[in-house]
Amino acid sequence: MTVITFTYLIIPTGRFTGIPRNIAEGTITISNEEPVDNLHTQIQQLLPESYRNVPFFLRAFHPTAVGYIVMRQGNLISQYFSNSPTVEAYHVLIEEDAYHIHTL
Judge whether 19 lies within some domain: yes
Question: By 3-state DSSP, what share of the chain in percent is helix, strand and coil, each rounded to 5?
Answer: 25, 35, 45
With 90 as the cut, is the pLDDT of residue 94 above it? no
Taking only the tens place, the pLDDT of each residue in 33-78 is 999 999 999 999 999 999 999 999 998 887 666 566 788 888 888 8
CATH number assigned to the domain comprising residue 59: 3.10.20.90
Rounded to whole angstroms, the Cα distance separating 103 from 82 reads: 24
CB 58 within 8 A of CB 93: yes
Angle, CA 72 vertex, CA 42 and CA 9 arms, to 5°: 50
Judge whether 91 lies within some domain: yes
Rounded to whole angstroms, the Cα distance separating 74 from 39 reads: 11
Which residues form the domain of 65? Answer: 3-96
Judge whether 103 lies within some domain: no
